[in-house]
Structure 1
Amino acid sequence: MSLTRTRRLRQALSGDRAVMAPGVVDAMYARLVAEAGFEAMYMTGAGTSATRLGYPDVGLLTMTEMVDNATRIADAADLPLIADADNGFGGPLNVRRAIQLYERGGVAAVHLEDQVLPKRCGHLAGKQLIAAEDMVAKVKAAVDARVDPDFVVIARTDALAVHGREAALDRAAMYREAGADVIFVESPLPDDLPHIAPRFPGVPLLYNMATSGKTPFLTRAEIEALGFKLIIYPNWLLLSALEAARRTLEVLRAEETIASVAPGVMSFKQFFDTARMAEIQELEARYGTSPEHRTEY
């Protein structure tokens, strides 16, 4: 009997190596991550906001929009999905519903943050926090709401940038005591990193390799040596694709032909292979679609 995604994530977090989870914003990115052989993936809230709305991560997406995106991603690849759940979209009762919806959607883990509504991306200035006791209530609500005991609840604190290191670590300790499985101290600077793991011996810690550069771009081995067990890479794939798309548009505008760009992009066949055309063709054959009507590519 195969292990559930939640159990696979739990086992990976208890292993010797830090789990690397590239950031995805939709189903095709999820399939690319699976093809590349990673053991987990991460749905970025900032990337979801950018691709769904064309706006930055400032709390404009609703719970149902975030869950819908997470469900589509989870359905696209057989990998444990860690998803951004913002600040739980309200109070403890909102958190309960969010956890229930994410879990039903096939998500293996979510992280909740201690910001007020409306929230902001963790690497943007101007963040405001709720009282630590209010976040403790949200963590307890999240833990109570899950049906699968292997579903992973990650508690994130944004206090480091607002109130400093000790306040952030104190908050994180409260969230761990409330039942959080993984601790996520957002936006640590190089001087902060050595101080986090000693406060949480034996507790899985999350390292956010955000593109802002506030937290250093370390190797997996360096991050492991600092005591972290889960590494997310939120928007690197999206930013890589956007830059490539911008260059393609510049060439098309200047040359008025796509010919010079064509050799450097994914082929038509590769695109449909990733979109699982072979699987579709097998289903067409099973249900009686005649061969002459099958798509060739």
Structure 2
Amino acid sequence: MPYLVADELPAESAGKRFAQLLERSGILRIPGAHNGQAALQARAEGFEALYLSGAAMTASMGLPDLGIITVDEVAFFIRQIARASGLPLLVDGDTGYGEALNAMHMVRVFEEAGAGAVHLEDQVLPKKCGHLNGKTLVPAKEMATKIAAARKASRDMVIVARTDAAGVEGFDAAVERARIYVDAGAQAIFPEALVTRDMFSAFADAMPDVPLLANMTEFGRTPFFTASEFEDMGYRMVIWPVSSLRVANKAQAQLYASIREHDGAHEMVGAMQTRAELYDVIGLKDYEALDASIIATVLPDQASDS
């Protein structure tokens, strides 16, 4: 049903709902959704939480993932995904967009926009994708101050601390940083860019009472593991951060190439979401039913979507 109907809205905050999902047994599967349409499609497949990646946001805007975008630009993405799906959303908060006060501002804006959880990372701006070289980290105590501030600003939002230390300072340093971040108030830990099964398992053994998040991004340093494999290694959450955008972008490139080659989009019709499928996903009939002045849509018999 449309989010316009108050009775259809969740009774509890996104943060409380995200925390409840973490309390359940089994691993929480959190696919990335780069816009409202992707969020609806993920929900239709039964997923109960979603992830909003900074890399997916920036790439969809035609920008690199270097900490360029602002809090308000991210809030735009949060609102559309939260409104469309109603699912609790874990958001990539980069470095918190500054220092302690900036991180507090980020938390308040994101929570008011509808996010259920956010992760902050311990890189220095300009940050880089966690699976790339050349990263620089802030001192652990500085990151701890930022985490404590973020936790203080949160009403219900779950605060996740990401550490990129494994590829910069070594595995032991990553574990030590994670412990400092938990002491500062982090409710879960995201160890970024671990490169072997043994590293994932050893990290979980070192943090037995803390929910851990695994990043199953493609074309990075982490080998492919299934969600069940991550669960066996001791992880409570797994994200596929940019997968939806990668697939959509590949399909778009093929479309434009086909238009150029065939002087039209007709060769790609079989790969397209039909008008009926689109209207079903976005709930057009439900919206039309809310306003008697809107004449119910009758789909055309022909294939054209114009």
Instruction: Give the TM bin, normalised by the shorter chain.
Output: over 0.9
**Change over 3 Å in CA distance of 1:290–1:272 after alignment to 2:** closer
Which of 136, 142, 154 matches 1:146? 154
> 2:90–2:118: 8 Å Cα contact kept in structure 1?
yes
| Partners of 1:72 and 1:241 in 2: CA distance | 18
Which of 248, 258, 273 matches 1:241? 248
**Change over 3 Å in CA distance of 1:290–1:201 after alignment to 2:** closer
| Partners of 1:139 and 1:213 in 2: CA distance | 27
> 2:211–2:235: 8 Å Cα contact kept in structure 1?
yes
2:100 matched to 1:98?
no
2:164 matched to 1:158?
yes
Matching residue of 1:77:
85
Matching residue of 1:32:
41
> 2:215–2:238: 8 Å Cα contact kept in structure 1?
yes
Any idea what SS the aligned residue of 2:32 has? Answer: strand
Letter in 2 for 1:201: P
Any idea what SS the aligned residue of 2:97 has? Answer: coil
Letter in 2 for 1:103: E
Matches within 5 A, 1:11-22: 11-22=20-31
Identity %: 36
| Partners of 2:43 and 2:217 in 1: CA distance | 21
Superposed displacement of residue 3, structure 1: 4.2
Matches within 5 A, 1:43-192: 43-52=52-61, 54-148=62-156, 151-190=157-196, 191-192=198-199
Letter in 1 for 2:83: D
Matching residue of 2:4:
none
Letter in 2 for 1:108: G
Superposed displacement of residue 25, structure 1: 1.2
> 2:131–2:220: 8 Å Cα contact kept in structure 1?
no
Superposed displacement of residue 2, structure 1: 4.4
| Partners of 2:250 and 2:231 in 1: CA distance | 30
Matching residue of 1:205:
212
Superposed displacement of residue 175, structure 1: 0.2
Tell me the TM-score normalised to structure 2 length: 0.91
Q: How many residues align?
A: 289
Letter in 2 for 1:265: M
Q: Which runs of 4+ in 1 moved over 4 A?
A: none
| 1:86-121 alpha-carbon deviations (Å, 9 max, x no partner) | 100000000111111111111000000011112111
| Partners of 2:294 and 2:180 in 1: CA distance | 62
Q: For structure 2, which runs of at least 5 residues remain unmatched after alignment?
A: 1-9, 300-306
Which of 254, 271, 283 matches 1:276? 283
